[in-house]
Amino acid sequence: MIKRLLSRAVPEHEWPIWALPAIMLGSFVASGFLFYLFYFGPGIRDLQGLAYAPTDDGGRVRIEIGGTLFSVPAHYTRNGRSRRGGTLDHASLHALLPSLTPWHDDYADAFLDSGAASDLLTINIRATTSDLPEGRIFKAIYQPYIAGSGQVGDEGLQSFNFRSNSPYAGKQIFRGLKTGSAAERQHPPLFVCDDMSNDNPTCESRFNLGNSAQVSYVFKRAHLSQWEAIDRDIREMIRNFRAAARRQN
């Protein structure tokens, strides 16, 4: 077959002289290219846009998750997929506490810090289906696994320990004791945190956006005393993203 292909451009009596070196050179180049791709080229996560790839671009990206529209400044996004725009099932964002500072090259090291005192806050917006009101989540999901009664601390949080044989073993849950309106008191934020036996404990909280989208955010337990400001500022930021999307209509 090679002989037939080569003979179209080169007389048949000439092609064997240079064909073998050409084939060997081509094979060498192809092997080198494949080697480079395997070891240095983009991985699956890069190709999917899921690899960590922050930007300092403040331009807004319009996305739709679970039927909810958002207009998000790109410098809050953690990867390329979250700033492609259009309909997504998930978007990954990040900021620095306490002011929800977006990514910038000057703060690149702080965004990579994963230590126990890190200021990094990660936010995920997902499409989901939830018919359970926020006010019932504590009683319906967490309370069956709680051991003993809760304790109220000085930071305006009521803490509970999980049973050691529960799916939440090694964690504690904290319920915010809000002092705002009646509606706010009916929907206190919940924080599920690694207990202090963990060398690098984190906390996670969630809240719903209607019945089709949910926001979750994660931060280091060292910042738990700031829970009220963190929760308030994140909810306000998400409201601003939604309001900006409506203004673009």
Q: In terms of Cα–Cα distance, which of 207, 232, 249, 245 is closest to 72?
A: 245
Q: Are residues 152 and 227 in the same domain?
A: yes
Whole domain around residue 13: which residue ranges?
2-40
Bridge-based pairing state of the strands 86-88 and 120-127 = unpaired
Q: Are residues 60 and 99 in the same domain?
A: yes
What parts of the chain have a pLDDT lower than 70?
A: 1-23, 28-50, 178-186
CA distance 200 to 182: 36
Domain count, the chain: 2
Q: Are residues 188 and 87 in the same domain?
A: yes
Q: Are residues 25 and 137 in the same domain?
A: no
| pLDDT score of 210 | 86
In what order do the strands lie in the sheet containing 157-162? 90-96, 120-127, 213-220, 202-209, 190-194, 171-176, 157-162, 146-152
Tokens of 188: 């206190």
Long-range contacts of 72-77 (CB under 8 A, 24+ apart): 72/241, 73/102, 75/102, 75/103, 75/104, 76/102, 76/103, 76/123
| pLDDT score of 91 | 97
pTM value is 0.79
